[in-house]
Structure formats: structure tokens, C-alpha cells
Amino acid sequence: DHSSMEVINPATGEETESYEEDDWAEIDTALDRAVDTFEDWRQRSVREREQFLVDLADVIRDEKHHYAELMTREMGKPISQAIAEIEKCAWLCDHYASHAGTYLQEEQHPSPPGTSVKTVHDPLGPVLAVMPWNFPFWQALRFSVPYITAGNVGLLKHASNVPGCALAIEELYEKAGYPEGVFQTLVVGSDPVDDILADERIRAATLTGSGPAGRAVASKAGEQLKKTVLELGGSDPFVVLEDADLDAAVETGTRARNQNGGQSCIAAKRFIVVDDVYDEYIDRFTEEFEALTIGDPMDEETDVGPQARRDLMEGLHEQVIASVDAGATAITGGEPLDREGAYYPPTILADVPENCPASDEELFGPVAAVFRVADESAAIEMANDTQFGLGASVWTEDRDRGERVAREIDAGCVYVNQLVKSDPRVPFGGVKESGYGRELSGIGIKEFVNRKTVWVE
């Protein structure tokens, strides 16, 4: 007597697929299998685990169109962006296939004469990952590729609107020849997550998603003294100074706000523009927004497809209405499109006042909030005036100035003259209510290891 998970195609509003949810007996079997597999997997050398990644990258590339279409059907991402996401997953595998061994090398420490003191990196065991729907493949591989290569095993509880992607990712690992149980998908909603976290077979957890979901998982894991990594929301500032290359700042700002339908934690959300260039910036920014192609996400030409779920689009629209009521002006967009599917147009809110959703909350959709500030120091102050601290982007043709401003912004990363993006080579994560811990790079792969000191006299 299983419950089921229905998938609604957000481009049409139609139910396309139904998946049976796992019950506790199935979860229990998966947990046992994870523990059994871990005993074998942890014994393998990093070199051997790197080799599996070479095959995983091949499997991903071989069927990239198939996986991209599945993603687009489930959550509405434009197909060209879905293909790029799958390619990025293969790059992630390439990266750790060449670097995991170096990242996980033992570290020697200064020690008294005649002793040897080093840190070795042991895996922790089964890791539960609670993941969101916005980058269904990337997010799941971003945690699993490094953690599994460090010798852990993974269990994925994906968002309830992307069960097909969740199962496809498990299939990728199978096709690449990984031992059964190294990566498993649990087809479950959020209800059983507490019990899974409390189970002694789970050793650590990671979550990407909203603040409330992050708090729920972190507090439950905290009760059990299990380590967590959290990658939560953001309201990233995009600071345009008077000496910015405006062509680039307009073009990249448009992309940074609208890619993936604006549904990205590291999307630029608050555009903070100094007075000298504000009018010109906003005119050109509006032109770019209005030039975007909105439509069927399966069409290669589409820039912006539907929002992933109708309820989320409705929540976004409420945030827009409340911001306009508080005094913001919708220069373009601002109303759901009158067509089937959960379509929200690229929207610019100008003259956004303080204390409204567009200034205080995360707007998870294609809505740019634009703020006018007097100068650099006011821009920095506003950039930091937020509960979040994920990423930030700063635009100036003076690279030294850019770096100086970057150092004054409280965020997990600041990109100067570039959009904030995740990259396997670079640590990724936030501060404040954007979460804690880092993913990717040599730092991320060591989040879920026991850094064990071995002192030999």
C-alpha cells in the first residue's frame, strides 16, 4: 500500500508520470545495503575509485540528450541549459578522476625528532543527501561524486517533483559499474527524513534547498551529533560601479538573473547600481530582459521556460505584488503569463524600498530587484545588508578596486566582472543564512572524512 509521487510537467500543467514511493521496509533494505557496501568500498584505493569516475563521465556523455529531456519534462528547464548541466556533471567526474588522489593525500605535520605525525582521510560511511529540483542532476552529482570518491556511500532523497531524475542518477552509477549500494535513490517525500537521519546507519547529511528545510535537517542531525553541510538560499548582490563595462554588466546581469528561470541559489538577485550609471543601466537592462525568448522549454531557442511548480510561481508573484505595494515599480513583466503552464516573465523591479520581499527575501524566479545607491561605500553596505551570504558579483574595470570591494563583502564567494558560478575546481558554499560548509574542490571532498591523526613514536 504505497503512496505515489506524481510528476506534473510545468510547461503544460499535465500529469505525465507517477512513481511509487518507497516504504520503510525498502528504506531499511537500502540502509543495510549502504552499510554492507561501505565495508567494501572504503577498502578500495582512491586510485580505483577515480577509475569508476572515468566510466561515469562516459555514461553521462553517452546519453546526455536523454537525461536532459527528462529534466526539462520534470522541472521545465530550457533544454539547452539542461544539456549544459549534464555536460557539467561529466566535467565534474573528469575533475575528480584526475584530482581526488591529490586532494586526499596524507598531510605530514611538524613533530618531535624521531616521530612521524600525519593526518589521513578516512571516509565516514553512508551520507544522506536531501536535494532540490532546480539543478536535479548537478546538485546530486555535486555531493555524490566527491563524497563517494572519498570512500563514502550516498543515499539521495531528491525533491518530490523530480523522481524520474532521481532514479536516472542511480541508474547512471549502475551503468558505470559501481558496486550496488554505493549510490542509492530513495523515492520518498520529506516525511521519513527525520527517521532516516536518526538511524544509526546514516553517518552524515547534506542538504541543498530552503532555509526551513535546512533547519529541519540540521537540527535533527544535530540531535544525533551527525555532521551536516548546508547549501541554502541566497539573495546575491550584483554591484555595478560607475567604471563598469556596462555592455558586459548588462549582458551578464541578464543571464545571471534569468538562467534556469531565475531558480538558482547563486543567481544575481539584488542589482545595486551607483547613481552615475543607474539610468543607463536600467534602460539597457530592460531592453535585454524584453529581448529574451520565453516559451516551450523543449525548444532550443528558449531562454526562459516555465517555473518548476505552479505553487512556487504563485509564491513568487505574491512577493512581487507585496514589493510593488511597498513602493517598487515593475518596469517590465510583473504578471504571470496568460497561457497554460507556470510561466512567469522576466521582471524588473526598480526603486525597490527597504523592508519588502524584493529587498529582504530570496526571489526564486526571473525577477530582478534594482537599487540605486550613491557610491561604492553605500553599495558595499547594501550588499551586506541581508540575512544571506552565498555569492556576490562586482563590476568595475579597475581590477584592484574590484578585489578590494570583494574583500569587504560577506559571502561565500565574490566574482569580479564575472557571474557567480559553481566550478568543480573552486570551493562553493555560503555564510549567514545561506548555510555552512563547502562543496567541490579539495576543500569540499574533505567535508565528510575523518581527518585522522596518526602519531608514530
The site for ligand NDP (CB under 6 A) is made up of 130-134, 157-160, 189-190, 193, 208-210, 213, 216-217, 232-233, 265, 312, 362, 364
233 vs 402 by CB, closer to ligand NDP:
233
State the minimum distance, in angstroms, from the CB of residue 51 to ligand NDP.
Answer: 31
User: How far is the C-alpha of 346 from the C-alpha of 320, rounded, in Å?
Assistant: 12
State the minimum distance, in angstroms, from the CB of residue 221 to ligand NDP.
Answer: 10
C-alpha cell at 256: 545571471
Active centre residues (catalytic): 231, 265
131 vs 394 by CB, closer to ligand NDP:
131
37 vs 263 by CB, closer to ligand NDP:
263
Contacts of 295 (CB under 8 A, 6+ apart): 301, 302, 305
Q: Which residue is nearest to ligand NDP (CB)?
A: 209
State the minimum distance, in angstroms, from the CB of residue 353 to ligand NDP.
Answer: 21
Long-range contacts of 335-343 (CB under 8 A, 24+ apart): 337/294, 340/12, 340/13, 341/10, 341/11, 341/12, 341/13, 341/76, 341/306, 342/10, 342/13, 342/76, 342/306, 342/307, 342/308, 342/309, 342/310, 342/312, 342/313, 343/294, 343/305, 343/306, 343/307, 343/313
Of 429, 272, 419, 420, which Cα lies nearest the Cα of 358?
272
Of 216, 188, 206, 249, which Cα lies nearest the Cα of 379?
249
CA 324 to chain centre: 29
User: How far is the C-alpha of 376 from the C-alpha of 390, rounded, in Å?
Assistant: 20
313 vs 449 by CB, closer to ligand NDP:
313
234 vs 333 by CB, closer to ligand NDP:
234
User: How far is the C-alpha of 336 from the C-alpha of 319, rounded, in Å?
Assistant: 13
